[in-house]
A and B are shown apart, each in its own frame.
Chain A
Amino acid sequence: MTVMEQRGAYRPTPPPAWQPRTDPAPLLPDALPHRVLGTRAAERVDPELLRRLYAELVRGRRYNAQATALTKQGRLAVYPSSTGQEACEVAAALVLEERDWLFPSYRDTLAAVARGLDPVEALTLLRGDRHTGYDPYEHRIAPLCTPLATQLPHAVGLAHAARLKGDDVVALALVGDGGTSEGDFHEALNFAAVWQAPVVFLVQNNGFAISVPLAKQTAAPSLAHKAVGYGMPGRLVDGNDAAAVHEVLGEAIAHARAGLGPTLVEAVTYRMEAHTNADDDKRYRDDAEVEAWRAHDPIALLERELTERGLLDEDGIRAVREDADVMAADLRERMNQDPVLDPMDLFAHVYARPTTHLLEQEAQLRAELDAEARHHEYDENDEHDPEGNTR
């Protein structure tokens, strides 16, 4: 009789005692989104920082409005507005040191601009002339990422590499609520926690992945709760409270810089406009919901804080708005100029060492362009076209 056959008598030897590695309690996120504005905590924040956040918020809102207008004029192929989410964008940009890296997604042009990128360079992807209009190393901003969450493992790898080289660099990666369902989100968080990489993940939970509401995206108590399973702290913050986002991100970055590993921050915010100009948000949400969020507008929240405490007056507000208008006028003017493109650029940056068939195709395009130019010249010098038809 084998051991397995002695059903009644068999008692398995228990395996060696197993203990969970971490008590989940310290990793659990805040019960309610952390807030600073309108609370006593706001008094501890440097008034200069509050004013700077305010100015960037107003510029950001103006930027969103201008870019949306450019889509209507056909100057931008598409624009995913971050109106309503400016506090997340601006705080993400201002909280980083110059040596740190930002990993934005396609909706995060504002964060890139607030970090110092030329507004036109930030829009080339959406205009359709260049995939990335800037050198990522110049401002330490990775290319705006269109696939969802795939930039997150890049942020982990870069932060890990920097630490291996002994550099004091933190990476901040931005992702939306929909992006948290992607496999790359999971793999990035897992790698970051296992490697204790100096990286911070900011989820901008704006309520919708195009049209799908958060309730259909996840059954988790909050997106910040996901941190617990990876063994990293999760933080929940009011994403419309610029001071709170700045504070929570600042703590997470300091934590990472101190070698204590990654943090997942969920900022609860709301996308006030459609996913992009090509989307019809009336199909999936009603006006009352949008209006309810208008009362919790990030600019209004900060403006109230600053004016009530005498840190900003009517003149100050006007000056900030005028500055934003100047930025928008400059953006409008420069975007109204046609970009000058060299078709040969198609082949310029595919390989360091181009393949022979690519060189052949390059020669083919060159010949086509030359023929086109000759045709054009002929057209201008003669009233007959080369086919011999009289005009």
Chain B
Amino acid sequence: MTTVAVKPATMAQALGRALRDAMADDPAVHVMGEDVGALGGVFRVTDGLAKEFGEDRVTDTPLAEAGILGTAVGMAMYGLRPVVEMQFDAFAYPAFEQLISHVAKMRNRTRGAMPLPLTVRVPYGGGIGGVEHHSDSSEAYYMATPGLHVVTPATVADAYGLLREAIASDDPVVFLEPKRLYWSKDSWNPDEPRSVEPIGRAVVRRQGRSATLITYGPSVPVCLEAADAARAEGWDLEVVDLRSLVPFDDETVSASVRRTGRAVVVHESSGYGGPGGEIAARVTERCFHHLEAPVLRVAGFDIPYPPPMLERHHLPGVDRILDAVARLQWEAQS
């Protein structure tokens, strides 16, 4: 048995590799967006693609998000599989009308005759010291729109696998890329990309018995760190990485909460009207008799994303998660 030398790769590299492999496998796949060509994207995810596949398939578009997504809709109507880059979370807002009125609805409006198999890549979230409009977590908006799938990787292998799945999907997918994990490394062999669980499956990243941390994207490593720290307090925490917000994997989440009896939802987007409310409600509806305490949320504050020098106070960190875990000792409190 030979051992493959596995080099660490970054999430950005894995995403680029996924785009490359998808384009090589299917001539219908086109990459488009602002700066995706010669520059390789501001995060270098599309590095080298224009050289390999040419400008017709890797297109630097004019700077106009509604135009980028709107023309991608037309291209998908003609049988292509566009992969659109939105550069930064808040830059995607001008394209919302196209996304919500057309991308999400075209299959439904045409009773299945005109599906739009396109992928919208949105680098999202904070923690990289970006100035305003560069750190939003906009997943709640996408989750609230029927017709879209919404996924977000937390590991290098998932970045590759989920993006391949998203591009191959016949449904439009909003692919949220956690900016602050772009440079995170994993031992991942780019020449033997691991197959991953399909879109719609959550994964237990760490097994535990005393409570479940339900999280996704940029908060997954934070929760794993919190779980390590919690061991000292006598808490054995399970960490569930959702990977996919739509579809939502009730089965994996409920099974975990039934085992542990306690749950905290952790995400960095605002809590009010945020994904945590939906997740907590679903968990409560399904696991009420197994719960020893209310499902708690640790989320970003309900404020516009703060300036970079203050963002560490806004983002849910290990301490805030541990505080919530402590509050799960409900019986003692009440």
Contact = CB atoms under 8 A, between A and B. Distances in A.
A161 B71 CA distance: 9
Interface stretch (B15-23, B96-104, B119-127): B96-104
Contact of B110 (A132, A147, A188, A350): A132
Contact of B114 (A143, A348, A350): A143
A342 to B, nearest CB: 11
A356 B74 contact: no
Contacts of A165: 78-79
A158 B70 CA distance: 10
A352 B71 contact: no
Nearest to A194: B62
Contact of A157 (B73, B97, B101, B111): B73
B248 interface: yes
B190 to A, nearest CB: 28
B67 A351 contact: no
A147 to B, nearest CB: 5
Contacts of A33: none
Contacts of B311: none
A348 B112 contact: yes
Nearest to A351: B171
B72 interface: yes
Contacts of A353: 169-171, 200, 247
A20 B77 CA distance: 35
A351 B107 contact: yes
Contacts of B169: 352-353
A136 B74 contact: no
Contacts of A232: none
B230 interface: no
Contacts of B248: 355-357
B108 A160 contact: no
A318 B80 CA distance: 49
- Indicate the size class of the contact surface on chain B: 35 or more
Nearest to A155: B74
Contact of B98 (A153, A159, A351, A355): A153
B291 interface: no
B66 A184 contact: yes
A350 B66 contact: no
A102 B114 CA distance: 15
B56 interface: yes
A384 interface: no
Contacts of B72: 157
Nearest to B104: A350
Given A153-B67, A350-B147, A356-B247, A135 B75 contact: no
Main secondary structure of the interface of A (DSSP, over half): helix
A355 B112 contact: no
Contacts of B79: 161, 165
Interface string A187-215: 11011001000000000000000000000
A191 B62 contact: yes
Contact of A136 (B73, B114, B200): B114
A150 interface: yes
A136 B110 contact: yes
A132 B109 contact: yes
Interface in B101-147: 101-102, 105-115, 146-147
Contacts of B249: 356
B62 A154 contact: no
Nearest to A189: B67
Interface in A131-188: 131-132, 135-137, 142-143, 147, 150, 152-162, 164-165, 171, 183-184, 187-188
A352 B170 contact: yes
B107 A157 contact: no
Nearest to B246: A355
Contacts of B105: 131
Contacts of B108: 131, 349-350
Given A350-B146, A356-B247, A157 B74 contact: yes
A333 interface: no
B94 A183 contact: yes
B61 A191 contact: yes
A150 B250 contact: no
Contact of B64 (A130, A132, A154, A191): A191
A286 interface: no
B75 A184 contact: no
A289 interface: no
A161 to B, nearest CB: 4
Contact of A135 (B64, B77, B101, B110): B110
A162 B79 CA distance: 9
Nearest to A169: B78
A161 B78 contact: yes
Contact of B250 (A154, A350, A352, A356): A356
Nearest to B64: A187
18 contacts: A131-B105, A131-B109, A137-B114, A143-B109, A143-B114, A153-B70, A153-B74, A157-B75, A158-B78, A159-B74, A162-B78, A183-B94, A184-B97, A187-B70, A190-B64, A191-B64, A352-B171, A353-B247
Given A137-B114, A147-B101, A158-B78, 4 more contacts: A135-B110, A160-B74, A349-B111, A350-B147
What 6 A-B pairs have minimum CB-CB distances, sorted nearest first? A157-B74, A153-B70, A187-B67, A157-B71, A355-B247, A161-B78
Interface of B: 56, 61-62, 64, 66-67, 69-80, 94, 97-98, 101-102, 105-115, 146-147, 149, 169-171, 200, 246-251
